[in-house]
Amino acid sequence: MVLEMLSLKNGAEWKGLRAVMTPTFTSGKIKRMFPLVCDKADALVSVSMKQAAENSEAGKRRGDFLDLLLEARDQSDNRDQSDNLNSKHVLSDISMVAQCLLFIVGGYETTASLLAFSCFLLAKHESQQQRLRNELQGMVAEHGGITYQGIMEAKLLDACLQETLRLYPPAVILERACTKTYK
């Protein structure tokens, strides 16, 4: 399935698939979809504003990715002030939002792919599915629920996920390129 993606095709296969896919994303079709996207975005902003007004979180730490970035920026600012150094990489508000977006988008697709392919493989291999079910039931009994520690100790779960990643790697294209000549 993954190998059928347009980004992994080349030559005549790419040209044929692109010819079929291109009409899907015409400016007219995207223009017709735009009001729907705007309505949903407005609804999200409205709900977020209402929730923020009802449950002010000013000054509260959530421990999420954004908090970690804010903490890193504060530490960087303190280091720069005490050493009189100008940091090459300043975490501006826009930079932090961009990193959060990348974190969400990058994490969503890879996690969704891993879970989907894991389910697929477990459905094909019922005996392994049962073994994993037994391990997870034992973990819940031992830890009183699903806990971080329990997940870290689940060896078969780890093995199943690692095997899924081996068979169906979510990142088949590296987006980074060498910027210097090497021998």
Q: What is the pLDDT of residues 110-130, one digit of tens each?
A: 889 999 999 999 999 999 999
Instruction: Specify the pLDDT at position 171.
Output: 74
Vertex 68 angle, CA 102 and 83, to 5°: 110
How many domains does one find in the chain?
2
- What pTM value is reported for the model? 0.54
Would you say residue 183 lies in a domain?
no
Would you say residue 30 lies in a domain?
yes
d(CA 174, CA 75) in angstroms, rounded, equals: 31
d(CA 127, CA 115) in angstroms, rounded, equals: 18
Would you say residue 16 lies in a domain?
yes
Would you say residue 54 lies in a domain?
no
Where in the sequence is the domain holding 30, given as residue range(s)? Answer: 12-43
User: Token digits for 67?
Assistant: 């908090």
